Amino acid sequence: MITLKEALTKSQDELNRLKTQMEKKAKEGGLNAYIGFESSGEGVPILIKDNIQVKGWSLTCGSKILQGYIAPYEATAITHLKSHGMAPFGRANMDEFAMGSTTESSYYGKTLNPHNKEHVPGGSSGGSAAAVAGGIAIAALGSDTGGSIRQPAAYCGCVGMKPTYGRVSRYGLGAYSSSLDQIGPITQNVEDAAILYDAIAGHDPKDSTSADMETVSVAQNLNPDRKLTIAVIDNYISEADSQTQRVFAQTVEKLRNAGHTIIHKNRLNTQYDIATYYIIATAEATTNLARYDGIRYGNRASCNNVSELFYNTRSEGFGDEVKRRILLGNFVLSSGFYDAYYLKAQKVRHLIRDEFNAIFKEADLILSPVAPSSAPKIGSISDPLEMYKSDMYTLSINLAGLPALSLPVGKDSANGLPIGLQLIAKAFDEQTLFDGALSLERAVNYQKQ
C-alpha cells in the first residue's frame, strides 16, 4: 500500500481507483476490519473508527443500540482532514463503545489480525489497525482512552499515536471516558503519523477541554538526529513476557547505539494504575452512556410504557462488557462508595501524573512496552480482569494526559507476531515524541526484519 505521504501527491482519479481496490480487497480478505464503505469528499481516503461522526454516515460505536443512527454533524477532526487534502473513507470496526482490548466485543463481529487470523488485532481500534497493517487502508483514525490506538497498532505491526489530552478536539467523538479520550492516527510509518496528527491537532472552541495553544507542524520539523535522554522504567518491565522483555532489551541497545542517553528509573505505584483507570473510566462511561435510552438515538425496543422503554432498549442494545462497566461505574459513584473509590482514584491519578513529571525533569522521553505480550489468540481471554491486566502499560499515560506513540520493533519468535513498544513524552511535546520515534524507527528497521 502506498504511504499517506505518497498518496497526498496522487490525482483524484488515482485515489478513486485505489478506493475501489481497497474495498474489493477488504471484502475478499475476510478480516472484518471495515464495517462500511461510505465515502465523502475528494482527497486521500482515510479510514474512520466507528465512533467518530462523519455527517450523513451511520455511526454505531460497535453497538446494537446505535444501529440506524445517522450522524447529523461532523467531528472537528473530520473537518480538519478535509481541509488537509484527505477525506473519510470507510468505517472501521471497534470494541463496543471502545471498551475492550481485542475487538471481540463489537456487535458487528470480531476483527482478525492480518498476520495470523487466529489472533486478535487488539482493541478497541482493532479495525483501524488491522486495515492499515493488512494493506487495505492508507491510514486511519482511532481513539485512545486507555491504549486503544497504541495497543492494536502494536499487535498488528503498525504505528499508533495518542496525542496529549486536549490537543485534538473531541467534538464529534462518541464519548467513553471524557477526561481520557483522544482521537489519533494509525499509520504505516512515523512520518505518516506526524502528517495525520498535524492535520487533526489544534484548538477547537466547540470542545471546552481543547487546549488553547498554538500548534506548529511536527511533520515539517521532524529531526531524527536529535540526541535525547530516554528513561526506561525498570520495575515496569518484569511483568511482560520473555519475548517482550527480549525485544525491549534489544531496542534499548539500538537507541544507545543511535546516540541517545539511557537512564534508569522506577515508578513506585504501578500496581494502582489498573484500578485507578477502571474506576475513573467506568464512572465517566456510566454518565456518558445514560443518554442511550431509546428516545434520542438509534434502536428502540418494543415496550408498553416508558420504564419498559428504557429497560428493554438498554437490556437488548448493550453487550455484556458495556453492561459490566455501567454497573461498576454506578457502584463507584454511589453515595457511600464515592469517597472510597471515585475520589480516591482521582487522588491517585494526580500521584501518577506527578511521578511522570518527576521522570521528565531528567528525561526527554520514556520507553515502555505497550502490552505484556504479542496478540493473544481469539477467544483466549475469557476473564474480564485478565483483559484489564493487558492494559497495564498504556492506562497510566491517559491518566496523566501524556502523548505517546507505539511502533513495531521486533517479532515474537514463538508465533511470528509483531511486538511494539511505546515512547512517551511530556504533555504538549509531540515534536520530541515524533523526533525520537523517527530515530527509533530508523534504528530498528522493522520492515527489513
AA identity, residue 373: S
Residue whose CB is less far from ligand GLN, 76 or 148: 148
User: Minimum distance from CB of 175 to ligand GLN (Å)?
Assistant: 11
CB of residue 350 to ligand GLN, shortest distance in Å: 20
**Beta-strand runs (E) in 279-379:** 365-369
Catalytic residue flag (residue 390): no
Please give the single-letter amino acid code of residue 40: S
Which is nearer to ligand GLN, 29 or 376 (by Cβ)? 376
115: enclosing H helix or E strand: none
Whether 33 contacts 25, CB under 8 Å: no
Phi, psi dihedrals of residue 151, rounded to the nearest 5°: -70, -45
The DSSP letter of residue 270 is G
Enter the C-alpha cell of residue 369. Answer: 512496552
Residues 6+ apart with CB under 8 A from 166: 209, 210, 211, 401
Nearer to ligand GLN, 236 or 446 (CB): 236
> Cβ 4 to ligand GLN, closest distance in Å?
23
- Please give the grid coordinates belonging to residue 224: 531524527
Q: Pick the catalytic residue from 101, 106, 143, 148.
A: 148
Using the minimum distance from each CB to ligand GLN, give the nearer residue, 136 or 153. 153
- Amino acid at site 368: S
For the chain, how are helix, strand and coil distributed in percent, rounded to 5? 40, 15, 45
Of 19, 49, 162, 426, the active-site residue reads 49
> Which residues contact ligand GLN by CB under 6 A?
98-101, 124, 144-148, 176, 281, 391
State the minimum distance, in angstroms, from the CB of residue 180 to ligand GLN.
8
Nearer to ligand GLN, 160 or 418 (CB): 160
End-to-end CA distance of the chain: 18
Minimum distance from residue 12 beta carbon to ligand GLN (Å): 34
Residue closer to ligand GLN, measured from CB, 15 or 149: 149
Q: Quote the least distance from Cβ 124 to ligand GLN, whole Å.
A: 4
CB of 240 to ligand GLN, least distance (A): 17
Closest distance of CB 330 from ligand GLN, Å:
17
148 catalytic per annotation? yes
Longest CA–CA span in the chain (Å) reads: 70
Catalytic residue among 63, 105, 106, 124: 124
Ranked by CB distance to ligand GLN, the top (closest) residue is 148
Annotation marks residue 124 as catalytic: yes
Closer CB to ligand GLN, 147 or 172, in the complex:
147
Task: Quote the CA–CA distance of 310 and 323 in Å, as a whole number.
Answer: 14
Query: 3-state DSSP call for residue 352?
Result: helix
- What are the backbone dihedrals phi and psi of residue 103, each rounded to the nearest 5 degrees, phi first? 60, 30
DSSP 263: E
**Residues, the chain:** 449
Burial class (CB in 10 A: 0-12, 13-18, 19+), 163: buried
Q: CA nearest 121: which of 228, 38, 34? A: 34
d(CA 72, CA 57): 8
Q: Which is nearer to ligand GLN, 155 or 176 (CB)?
A: 176
CB proximity list for 172: less than 8 A, separation 6 or greater: 52, 53, 71, 73, 74, 75, 76, 77, 78
Of 394, 448, 401, 399, the C-alpha closest to 423 is 394
- Residue numbers annotated as active site: 49, 124, 148
